[in-house]
Amino acid sequence: MIISSWNINSIRIRTKNIEEYIDKIDPDILMFQEIKCEDDKFPYDFFENKKYNCYVFGQKSYNGVAILSKKKLLKIDKSFKDPNKQSRLISADIKISNKLVKLICIYLPNGNPVNTDKYPYKIKWLNNFFDFIKKEINNYDGIIIGGDFNIIPNSNDVENPEDWENDALYRLEIRKEFRKILNLGFKDSFRIFNNEDKQYTFWDYTQGSWQRNKGLRIDHFLISDKILTKIKNVEIDKFTRGLDRPSDHAPIRVIF
DNA sequence: ATGGCTGAGCTACTCAGA
C-alpha cells in the first residue's frame, strides 16, 4: 500500500501535475495540504474519475487539507482545536496488515516572523497537537502523521543551518517540540531509509532554489514504533518539482 | 537585503507562504 503526502499549493490549478503523479505512482491514499479552497470548490469530479473518495477540510484562500482514498474511510475527524480556527488537520481510520491505524494529515503553521503573533500560534498549535496525539495513542495499534510540518528537524536538513537559528522552522524551541512528539513513540520514517544530507521536500520559488538544490526538508511522515516493521520504504518524489507550474513542495511517499 | 516567485481574491493591489 502506498500513502503519499503533498503540500499542493492550490489544488485547483494543480490538477495536471496531480494527474501525472497519479499516473506514475498510483497511490492508494493521497493527503494534501494547502488546497486553498472551500469544500464546495474542491475538484471532486477530477478525483472521483480517478476512483478516489474525497474527504475535504477546506478554507477560503488559505490552508485547507484533504485525504483521498481508493477505499472508503471511516471516522473522518476534523475536530482538532486549532488556536486560530484554521483548517489544518484531518484524520481517518485505516487498516494496515489488520492493524487499526489512525492516519493524520497536518499542515502546521509556519510561525514566521517570530516577533509577531504567528510564532506563539505555532507553539500553541504544537502544544494542542501533542495533547491530541497523546490522547489517541492508546486507542490505536498505530498512528501515522503525514504532512507539511514546517519544521526542519536537523542541521543536515537545510543548507546553512546557522542562518536559520532564529527562524520559526528551525528554532531550537521548535525542534524540541518535534522531538517531544517523537518521544511519544514515533520515528521520522524517512530517516530510517535515507541518511544522506540535502534530502529536501521544499524549494522556494525564488533565487533559483530548485536549480541550485537549496531546499528544506520540512514534509514528514512520523510513524508509530509499533508499526515500523510494516514499512517497506519512504521516498521523496522530487520529479514533481521539475514539472510545469509546480508546487514548491514535493510529495513524500511511504510504502507498506 | 524579509521579498527576487506564486496563488487567491479580485481588478489594483494586498496577504500569505517558508
B2 C1' to A166 CA distance, Å: 13
The CB density around residue A210, as the number of other CB atoms within 10 Å, is 19
Helices (H), A59-138: 118-136
The span from the CA of A104 to the CA of A67, in Å, is: 9
pLDDT for the residue A90: 98
All structural domains of chain A, each given as residue ranges with its CATH number in brackets, are 2-255 (3.60.10.10)
Q: Which residues of chain A have pLDDT under 70?
A: none
For A153-181, what is each residue's pLDDT tens digit? Answer: 999 999 999 999 999 999 999 999 999 99
pLDDT for the residue A72: 98
- Cβ(A158)–Cβ(A164) below 8 Å: yes
Helices (H), chain A: 15-25, 44-49, 118-136, 172-182, 190-193
pLDDT for the residue A109: 97
pLDDT for the residue A105: 98
Residues whose CB is below 7 A of strand B: A 7, 9-10, 12-13, 34, 36-38, 41, 60-63, 109-110, 112-115, 118, 148, 150, 169, 202, 204-207, 216, 218, 245, 248-249
Question: Residue A42 has what DSSP assignment?
Answer: S
Closest amino acid to nucleotide B18 (CA–C1') = A110
B7 C1' to A165 CA distance, Å: 29
Task: Provide the grid cell at A220.
Answer: 514528514
